[in-house]
Chain A
Amino acid sequence: MVKRKVAALEKIDADFASLQYKIRRDPKSYKDDFLKQWEQYEAQREIFFTSPTTAAADTVESFHNMIDLIAHVADCYPEETRTFQDDLKAIVSQHHETLHPELRDKVVGSLVLLRRKEVIDSTSLLTTLFPILVSSRSKSMREMLFQKILSDMRNSNSKSTNHPLNRTIQAVLYNLVTADRSSPRAIWAIKLTRELWKRQVWTDAKPVDVMKEACLADNEKVIVGATRFFLGGDKEREELEDESSDEEIDLAKVKHQITINKKSRKQKEAYRKAVDKVKKQEKKKSKPHPLNFSALHLLHDPQLFAEQLFEKHLQGTKNKLSLDTKLLVLQLVTRLVGLHKLTIVPLYSWFIKYLTPKQQSVTSILASLAQGVHNLVPPDVLEPLIQKIANEFVSEASASEVAAVGLNAIREICSRQSLAMTETLLQDLVQYRKSKDKGVMMAAKGLLSLYREVGAEMLKKRDRGKDATMGLSSGMMKQRKFGEEEIGGIEGLDLLAKWKEEQRKRKRAEKGLPEDGSDDSDDEKDADEDDGWEIDSDDSSDSGEWINVEHSSDEEDEPAPKKRKGENADDDEDEDEEANAEDEAAELERMTKLATTTILTPADLAKLQELRAAASVQKAMGARARKRQQADSSNNGATHHQDDGLTAENIEAPIRLRKLTKEEKVALAKEGKPDRDEHKSTQAIRKSKKDAAGKSTSNREKQRKKNFLMTLGKAKSKQKRSLVETRKVLRGHVERSTRGGRRRNGT
């Protein structure tokens, strides 16, 4: 719409901006003018509606202006402009396809403006805009609508959660997804949900339900969008949160700037804002962390969902999804299976045909397989899979990378279900630790160390290692049976018990009593004095010392197995074993006793937290890291949380073991060297660069370039120097060099 030039006189006359300003300032006195404009609006609307599609540019422009004016002053005359919102809604929902783009945008903008002025409520606005978003064919329009909808949702949820609105919109989205499974329209539901999830506006189960339905759609785009949400939505949310909390404001700096720069209102405003922000951040810090469950945990009936996903998108031969999409869906299914310990037996046999080195992106398939395994999967289902991986991947003939991938995959599977391995196969695979390739060697060693912990009997005797052999002979180490679960406890409770014991002893020592006296009287006193309900400040400082336990003291803590090997003879080994077992049992009992007989106070819990932290510090320092490692932690360094999925990178060999490609090598070699357009020495190129940057030359260079004639005089005088003079000069030189030059070091 090209604006027609306005004559100067008319400009003064027909000034909508000034009229709007006047009306807003004093609505009562300008009511007549407003009513006139309202009539004008009505007339324009009538004219426009006679032919909405073929309206002339002039008509469109004047209608545009009228809508703008009325929208801005609508809140001053609510009675007169009752019909305005309905008009706008009708215009945009009936004619959005054919409307002039600018007019269309103006109508949408005016509706949002009315919402901001609270003339209409969010529900009616969103229910108007959303159908248009879904059906519009204009990209810019969709983009704008999406922005508007999103910002309105955020605004209406900013102060407190607007449950009715959320419920309405979620219902709309749900219906959109479920109404027509094959239409790509559901993509908008996904986009909106993901965005609101990311910003933590929606954190409950209903949006997850929407996404769940979208996963089961027929349209590939929709499936991909929804699957990606489950796989990455929570990470995205966390990242956004980290980002927002990262930006720190240095108040002192702002204050200092104000003292230096010109004092203005703007500056003052900026300072005030900074203070507000800092306060807000502090408030946020002190607030309890909102309990946000991940989308995978909020799923209702994951078993059914995983089964449906598998049957619909993977199992049948009818589905036409591309491999990438299938991989995504597979990742989701196996993630669900691993996380919720679901049982989908056909899933594992489905994998068989994909387990060849030629298969495209086989590493991510292997990773999916591994993450789909948990300790309740029947081992005989997994056995053929492991056999196949071993046959296809791990052989002398296959490339070293392939073998490493196969071994890693097997290790990952077995770390989740160790019973799936057969003895002969394991012993074969372990042989690869002698391989010349580092990747294969490391992978095989990983497998070996895994089985030393979880199933040492299956290894040959010489492969078992010291700890496992001793554990086996003492009977402490047993292979877990199928379906057997570890006895649960509170992590670090034993530490707490030990600490309490020590405290008690120390107190008794202070009082001059024997350390191992009867507890009865002391316990009560302890309860009175020390184990207060509240967390004391000195309590934490006290424990601060405790964290820095030295290495030696740590060794003293658990010296039993070491000593025994050196000192004890063979004959009394049996007795020792028994005693050891008894000790274990007693400790276990004590641990559970502490949890079952006393109520852990907040102070106790705080102490527990500290002890745990101290223990993990020790572990990181390497005291006994290997020994305490849990069975489910992977062996390549970082421990996984169970919620995090397994990716192809975990299966592939570490990146530094991979051979570099030629390009990478060249890039590495080139790094830090000047580019060589012309054939000059490196020095010359550096110098020309320096010249170009306008930098000065070094002293050395200046010396070298100095005119020969100028140096002559000094050379001559040097020859004429007396011995004393020469000595002085030389001494001065030595002294200077020890001090670090004329300008001295360190001043």
Chain B
Amino acid sequence: MGSSARKKQEKKKDFQKPKYKVGKAKPKASNFTDTSFKSKAIVMNQQSLSTAAPDVVQQFKHNLSLASSSRSDKQRRDALAYLTSQLSSHPPINPVGTNILLSKLLPLISDSSTPVRSQLLKLLRVLPEEEAKHSTEQAIMFIRAGMTHLSADISGDSLGVMEWLLDVAEDELVTIPGGWVKTLSTFCVTMGWSLASTVPGWTSAARSSLRAKDAQTLARQISILSRFLQAGLRSETAAVPSSEEYWDSFYGLPRSSNAFEYLNLFGSRRDEEGEMYPNREARQQVFYRRFFEPVTKGIEKVKKEGGAAGRAAVGLDQVLKDGMGDYAASAGMDAQDLLNLW
């Protein structure tokens, strides 16, 4: 029949040899895939072509950008290590300035990789203290974010950064806007000392699991908190007045970066949390009103648990007694009443 003839033809086709002809291109195989492509331009992500090796400044900046924005953990860590070595050389090499360096690197407090975070802490330690002071406000924001991070590792490591900040700029830390109240509330929240009025009744939400590691962290938190409170509630001694300073205060140009910050001329309105608490009394007042009760309760609880945390709590108790011993709740009008009136 007709169809069988056709089928024969088809079968035959498979075994036919391709005929090569002189002067013609070789016929393409049946399974040939065309891999050529056309493009108007070829884009390269990074390209650095230069004959000379980059100078130190360039290299520093390159590493800084790597540290702040590279996607690979190792690269970030290595870049940080490079920066650390540069900063710790004599004399320290820092072409960008501490402030910019910090603003780039502080977000790494919440970095997901542990080696990066520990390297960051090393770097912070070698920064000159005098210059790092001016970035306190920025630093404390990132530290607060780190301390409340969902990951326990990150919040633990950011305690180290907090320690560094206390070493470097404890006076600034407690006086800047938001530095006192917000940091205290962060501490309380991380330790689970609830700020809200406690629910009447017997049962309280128990700390879900008190593993050894948690206990260690708690001890560390408490000891750092006691350092913080110490800094904030330390009794101030008036400096011996000198006539030069007196006249300077009137006629000399202020030397701090934002001398009239307490007037808050350009920022948004601050609430109680974001307010500045420039002197000890103000800090005592707000501490007494908002934190005294939860903190003392927390101390009691931790003391009962004993261990390292208990010992730290005893220290904290002592600090509290020293700091708040001479405070008497005044019935007079304070800043809060004024704020409420607004």
B190: A residues at CB distance < 8 A: 36, 39
Interface string of A3-15 (1 = CB under 8 A from B): 0111100100111
B86: A residues at CB distance < 8 A: none
A37 with B2: in contact, given A10-B112, A31-B205, A32-B192 (CB under 8 Å)?
A: no
Partner of B145, one of A14, A43, A56, A80: A43
Q: Does B279 contact A (CB under 8 A)?
A: no
Judging by beta carbons under 8 Å apart, are B138 and A19 in contact? no
Interface string of A38-71 (1 = CB under 8 A from B): 1110111011001000001011001000000000
B142: A residues at CB distance < 8 A: 43, 47
Q: Does A271 contact B (CB under 8 A)?
A: no
Judging by beta carbons under 8 Å apart, are B113 and A7 in contact? yes
Judging by beta carbons under 8 Å apart, are A50 and B205 in contact? no
A2: B residues at CB distance < 8 A: 71
Distance in Å from the Cβ of A304 to the closest Cβ of chain B? 49
Complex Cα distance, B192 from A39, in Å, reads 12
Q: Does A736 contact B (CB under 8 A)?
A: no
Interface string of B66-85 (1 = CB under 8 A from A): 00110101000000000000
Distance in Å from the Cβ of B228 to the closest Cβ of chain A? 16
Judging by beta carbons under 8 Å apart, are A39 and B151 in contact? no
Which B residue sits closest to A34, measured CB to CB?
A: B189
Q: Does B216 contact A (CB under 8 A)?
A: no
Judging by beta carbons under 8 Å apart, are A40 and B148 in contact? yes
Central interface residue in A2, A10, A37, A79, by most chain B CB within 10 Å:
A10
B182: A residues at CB distance < 8 A: 42
Judging by beta carbons under 8 Å apart, are A16 and B150 in contact? yes
A46: B residues at CB distance < 8 A: 141, 144, 178
Which B residue sits closest to A691, measured CB to CB?
A: B3
Judging by beta carbons under 8 Å apart, are B194 and A31 in contact? yes
Instruction: Tell me the chain B residues, 254-306 only, with Cβ under 8 Å from chain A.
Output: none
What total of chain A residues lie within 8 Å of the partner, measured CB to CB?
35
A50 with B141: in contact, given A6-B112, A7-B112 (CB under 8 Å)?
A: yes
Judging by beta carbons under 8 Å apart, are A13 and B144 in contact? no
Judging by beta carbons under 8 Å apart, are A4 and B71 in contact? yes
Complex Cα distance, B157 from A13, in Å, reads 15
Which A residue sits closest to B182, measured CB to CB?
A: A42
What total of chain B residues lie within 8 Å of the partner, measured CB to CB?
33
Judging by beta carbons under 8 Å apart, are A10 and B148 in contact? no
Q: Does A705 contact B (CB under 8 A)?
A: yes
B138: A residues at CB distance < 8 A: 50
Distance in Å from the Cβ of A5 to the closest Cβ of chain B? 8
Which B residue sits closest to A46, measured CB to CB?
A: B141
Judging by beta carbons under 8 Å apart, are B148 and A13 in contact? no
Judging by beta carbons under 8 Å apart, are B107 and A59 in contact? yes
Which A residue sits closest to B143, measured CB to CB?
A: A43
B152: A residues at CB distance < 8 A: 13
Central interface residue in A6, A15, A42, A705, by most chain B CB within 10 Å:
A42
Judging by beta carbons under 8 Å apart, are B150 and A14 in contact? yes
Q: Does A300 contact B (CB under 8 A)?
A: no
B178: A residues at CB distance < 8 A: 46
Judging by beta carbons under 8 Å apart, are A705 and B2 in contact? yes
B1: A residues at CB distance < 8 A: 705, 707
Distance in Å from the Cβ of A39 to the closest Cβ of chain B? 4
Instruction: Tell me the chain B residues, 128-143 only, with Cβ under 8 Å from chain A.
Output: 138, 141-142
Judging by beta carbons under 8 Å apart, are A39 and B148 in contact? yes
Offer 12 A-B interface pairs, CB within 8 angstroms, sorted by A.
A13-B152, A13-B153, A29-B205, A29-B208, A35-B189, A37-B150, A40-B149, A43-B148, A47-B145, A56-B107, A80-B196, A707-B1
- Enumerate chain B interface residues (CB-CB to A < 8 A): 1-2, 68-69, 71, 73, 107, 110, 112-113, 138, 141-142, 144-145, 148-153, 178, 182, 185-186, 189-190, 192, 194-196, 205, 208
A-B contacts besides A47-B145, A50-B141, 7 pairs, CB < 8 Å = A4-B112, A16-B150, A40-B148, A46-B178, A56-B68, A56-B69, A80-B196
10 smallest CB-CB distances across A and B, nearest first, come from: A43-B145, A40-B148, A39-B148, A43-B144, A13-B151, A14-B150, A14-B151, A32-B192, A39-B189, A35-B189
